[in-house]
């Protein structure tokens, strides 16, 4: 991005990722990356769900953290992911005044168990996404902006996009941003009774795919300006481009079949970042594995990338982690950029050729400079976030 400077304007700021952390059913960020590359799926049946009378008992759940109090699961997932991110960022918060640290968090259900186990003393303020954001702020000693997004399955992108914008605008020195989604029994019932949930495997972009699979997890990134990264001799792991947002304005749950909202979000991210479709080396698809959403996404991708673009979804590996999904995907994108490797479409090595997509079916070495991370939510919310290779 270039700009002619006029009096009073400063040079454009680049937002850089200096740390990341994730907690998924495959494990930590590096375990998630390794598992996705190996085509592993964390999906398995769960006896407690069978005992409780769920029709679908297969899901992706985090097993490497202590079980803890059910109503603190979201906080526990967030704490682990934030700790890993700060560890990698190695001193990002040193000597930063609290009011110069910003927290940006996305979720769908918040602390779902809090609602599921509600008694007469229920308080929404203890369990909603704002509570999770406050929890992260307390962990960091952050007294700057704290923003919680309730934008469902796109919330991670919203949070990370806003955090990067805050860094670029100088509203904060360091932003910690991501998404959290503890396992939600409410969602388990809701999606399966909407007949949107696969009984066995989540197979994005495959003919005859039978739906999404529920996951749980959290992922966070630490974002600072390139100038600050250089000043403290840290490493930029990736750069964050502009967030593109659009709406279908169509239906409470079904996307527009013409993919026009999805395409608008992708184009907005690209144009606001001054990146052309030809510069994108990989699209991290929303790819939930439902008949409708994958089909609409394919139409949108063909419109935005008429010459094709490598595409894959990680939801076959770790399930749909909803509010955390696009944050986990951001962390995977950072690793893909660093490794120069595109991850495969797990459980989708035989994509439907009728979708007209270049689906990555095995790990692919590539000189990838930009990754477009797409996430779409109920209500027709469309988001796309560009991540770029650190210079």
Partner 1 sequence: MPTLDTDVLDRLRTELASVRPDIAATAPADATLKHDLEIDSLDVLEFVARVEAAFGLVVPDEDWQHVATLASLAEYVAAHRTLP
Partner 2 sequence: MNVVMSSLPDVVRTVTSPSLVAAGDAVSAWAAAEALTLYGADERLDALYVATTGAGAAESLAFWAAARATGFALAAPGAFPYTLANAPAARIGTVLGIRGPSVTVLGSFDDALDAAREDLADGLATRALVVHLDPVAPATSADPPATPWRLTCSVVGAPPADR
Would you name the residues annotated as active-site residues?
153, 286, 320
Query: Does residue 237 interact with partner 2 by CB under 8 A?
Result: no
Q: Which of 101, 264, 346, 384 binds partner 2 (CB under 8 A)?
A: 264
Query: Does residue 210 interact with partner 1 by CB under 8 A?
Result: yes
Query: Does residue 27 interact with partner 2 by CB under 8 A?
Result: no
Q: Which does 120 bind (CB under 5 to 8 A by kind): partner 1, partner 2, none?
A: partner 2
Q: How far is CA 11 from the centre of its chain?
A: 29
Query: Does residue 292 interact with partner 2 by CB under 8 A?
Result: no
Residue labelled with tokens 């809701």: 190
Residue placing its CB nearer to partner 2 in the complex, 92 or 262: 262
Stretch that binds partner 1, among 63-71, 94-102, 139-147, 194-202 (CB under 8 A): 194-202
d(CA 21, CA 272): 27
Q: Which two tokens stand for residue 25?
A: 């059913």
Query: Does residue 254 interact with partner 1 by CB under 8 A?
Result: yes
Query: Does residue 66 interact with partner 1 by CB under 8 A?
Result: no
Q: Which two tokens stand for residue 187?
A: 């969602």
**What value does the CA radius of gyration of the chain take, rounded to a whole number of Å?**
19
Instruction: Report angle CA 234, 235, 238 to the nearest 5 degrees.
Output: 140
Interstrand relation of 341-342 and 364-365 (parallel, antiparallel or unpaired):
antiparallel
Question: Environment class of residue 59 by beta-carbon count within 10 Å: exposed (0-12), middle (13-18) or buried (19+)?
Answer: buried
Q: Are 350 and 225 in contact (CB under 8 A)?
A: no
> How far apart are CB 317 and partner 2 at their closest, in Å?
24
> How far apart are CB 201 and partner 1 at their closest, in Å?
14
Stretch that binds partner 1, among 96-104, 108-116, 193-201, 219-227 (CB under 8 A): 193-201
Query: Does residue 250 interact with partner 1 by CB under 8 A?
Result: no
> How far apart are CB 130 and partner 2 at their closest, in Å?
4
Q: Which of 63, 123, 253, 274 binds partner 1 (CB under 8 A)?
A: 253
Which among 199, 162, 191 has a CA at the least distance from the CA of 177? 162
Strand partners, 147: 104
Helical (H) or strand (E) element with 88: helix 73-89
Q: Which does 210 bind (CB under 5 to 8 A by kind): partner 1, partner 2, none?
A: partner 1
Q: Are 172 and 166 in contact (CB under 8 A)?
A: yes
Residues 34 to 73 in contact with partner 2, rule: CB under 8 A: 52-55
Residue placing its CB nearer to partner 2 in the complex, 264 or 317: 264
Query: Does residue 268 interact with partner 2 by CB under 8 A?
Result: yes
Query: Rounded to a whole number, what is the distance in angstroms from the first to the last CA of the chain?
Result: 13
List contacts with partner 1 (CB under 8 A).
55, 193-195, 199, 210, 251-254
């Amino acid at each position: 991005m270039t700009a002619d400077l006029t009096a009073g304007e400063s040079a454009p700021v680049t937002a850089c990722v200096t740390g990341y952390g994730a907690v998924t059913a495959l494990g930590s960020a590096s375990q998630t990356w390794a598992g996705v590359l190996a085509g592993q799926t964390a999906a398995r049946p769960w006896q407690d769900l069978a005992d409780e009378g769920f029709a679908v008992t297969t899901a992706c759940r985090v097993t490497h953290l202590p079980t803890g109090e059910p109503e603190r699961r979201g906080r526990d997932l967030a704490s682990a992911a934030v700790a890993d991110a700060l560890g990698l960022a190695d001193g990002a918060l040193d000597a930063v005044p609290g009011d110069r640290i910003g927290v940006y968090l996305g979720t769908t259900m918040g602390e779902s168990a809090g609602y599921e186990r509600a008694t007469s003393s229920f308080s929404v303020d203890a369990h909603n996404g704002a509570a999770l954001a406050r929890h992260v702020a307390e962990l960091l000693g952050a007294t700057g902006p704290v923003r919680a997004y309730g934008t469902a399955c796109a919330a991670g992108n919203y949070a990370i996009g806003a955090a990067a914008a805050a860094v670029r605008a100088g509203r904060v020195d360091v932003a910690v941003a991501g998404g959290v989604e503890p396992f939600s029994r409410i969602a388990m019932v809701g999606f399966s009774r909407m007949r949107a949930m696969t009984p066995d495997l989540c197979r994005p972009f495959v003919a005859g795919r039978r739906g999404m699979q529920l996951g749980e997890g959290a992922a966070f990134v630490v974002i600072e300006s390139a100038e600050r990264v250089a000043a403290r001799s840290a490493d930029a792991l990736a750069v964050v481009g502009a967030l593109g947002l659009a709406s279908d304005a169509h239906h409470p749950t079904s996307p527009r079949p013409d993919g026009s909202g999805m395409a608008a979000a992708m184009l907005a991210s690209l144009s606001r970042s001054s990146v052309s479709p030809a510069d994108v080396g990989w699209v991290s698809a929303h790819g939930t594995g439902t008949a409708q959403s994958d089909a609409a996404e394919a139409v949108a991708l063909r419109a935005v990338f008429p010459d094709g673009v490598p595409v894959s979804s990680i939801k076959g590996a770790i399930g749909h982690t909803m509010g955390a999904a696009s944050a986990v995907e951001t962390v995977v994108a950072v690793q893909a950029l660093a490794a120069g490797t595109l991850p495969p479409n797990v459980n989708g090595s035989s994509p439907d050729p009728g979708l007209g997509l270049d689906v990555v079916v095995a790990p692919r070495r590539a000189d990838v400079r930009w990754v477009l991370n797409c996430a779409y939510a109920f209500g027709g919310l469309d988001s796309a976030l560009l991540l770029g290779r650190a210079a």
